[in-house]
Amino acid sequence: MANAEKKISLAIRIPFWILTGLFFAFIVYITVMSLISTSRKISEIKEKYSYKQVEKTSIDEKFFTDSTFVEKQKEKAFIQSRIAMAETDSIGLTLNLRDSLAMLEINGVVVHKVKISFMRICKAFNKANSFAVATMLSKPLMIISDTATIQKVPLQIKYAPKDTSEFKPDAIPDTSGFEPVNYILEMNNGIRIFVYQEEKEKSKDMYSQFLFDVTDRRKNTLAAFKRMMAFEVPEYRLYIKIRMPKKDAKIIYRAVPRNGLVTVFW
């Protein structure tokens, strides 16, 4: 009986320890892949946008990491990007993260300004070469797609009157004023800009934002998981997350064209 019990115990323990080992190995695999993904993105930014030294020059590379020089480079990049955006004769969005401001501009003239109440920038921005990041942001970023909880263009349905006696000149109210405002702007260089309303007065607002985030994370996690199952490093996406008043968030989303431009100063 004792031998039989030992055999049963071993038969149970062995699969358990195997499954436990596989589980921890999988966690380690995911962690390593995530670290490689971040490191690869940082290296990619440096390789693509950092200073390319010309042969037989005596310029010290340390010059491009000097804090004073980098700050001037950031300011120069910001001005260059705004000028390029102003030349398009279209409404553009400027995110001045230094001063916590979001601005709508037309031909370089600010037509709407709002204070950003909260912001979060992915760590890769700070870990990457500052000169390279400034160079990357020296040109306006183009919006290639977006995901939002409200419509880009509000749909209004109005039935034609049978005769002049039924005509009502009053405008139809925008019912989206009751809808939570959260959206993601996908840039052409892979940067993702998250814009959330700062109000959380109603449970609907909190639930909508939670569901919005969960849906986006599920989609990205699934995409990363598929790549890892194929033994490929998942793509790391740079991101900027900001909060602002609901009214202003909606104005910005609907004012900027579908393929509009965004200037970022960080």
Q: How far apart are the first and last CA of the chain?
A: 72
CA distance readout (Å), 12 to 15, 24, 95: 6, 19, 59
Residue 142 forms beta bridges with which residues? 261
Which of 90-94, 159-163, 183-187 comes out lowest in average pLDDT? 159-163
User: In whole angstroms, what is the distance from residue 258 CA to residue 188 CA?
Assistant: 12
Q: What is the DSSP letter of 150?
A: S
User: In whole angstroms, what is the distance from residue 253 CA to residue 146 CA?
Assistant: 10
Among all chains, which residue has been given the structure tokens 């800009």?
193
**Strand duo 192-197 + 239-244: pairing:** parallel
Which of 25-34, 63-72, 185-194, 246-255 comes out lowest in average pLDDT? 25-34
User: In whole angstroms, what is the distance from residue 136 CA to residue 140 CA?
Assistant: 9
In the three-class reduction of DSSP (H, G, I as helix; E, B as strand; rest coil), residue 193 is classed as: strand
The whole-number pLDDT of residue 20 equals 76
What's the half-sphere exposure (Cβ side, CA atoms, 13 Å) at 27? 6
Answer whether 243's CB lies under 8 Å from 198's CB: yes
156 phi and psi, to 5 degrees?
Answer: -120, 125
The whole-number pLDDT of residue 168 equals 55
Mean pLDDT of the residues in the chain = 82
In the three-class reduction of DSSP (H, G, I as helix; E, B as strand; rest coil), residue 204 is classed as: helix
pLDDT of 55 over the 80 cut: no
Which of 45-49, 148-152, 185-189 comes out lowest in average pLDDT? 45-49
Domain boundaries, the chain: 2-49+60-155+174-265
Q: What is the CATH number of domain 2-49+60-155+174-265?
A: 2.40.440.10
pTM for the model? 0.80
Token couple for 225: 């998981």
Comparison of pLDDT for 75 and 68, the residue scoring more:
75
The whole-number pLDDT of residue 54 equals 47
Among all chains, which residue has been given the structure tokens 């064209």?
257
| Mean pLDDT of the 143-159 span | 79
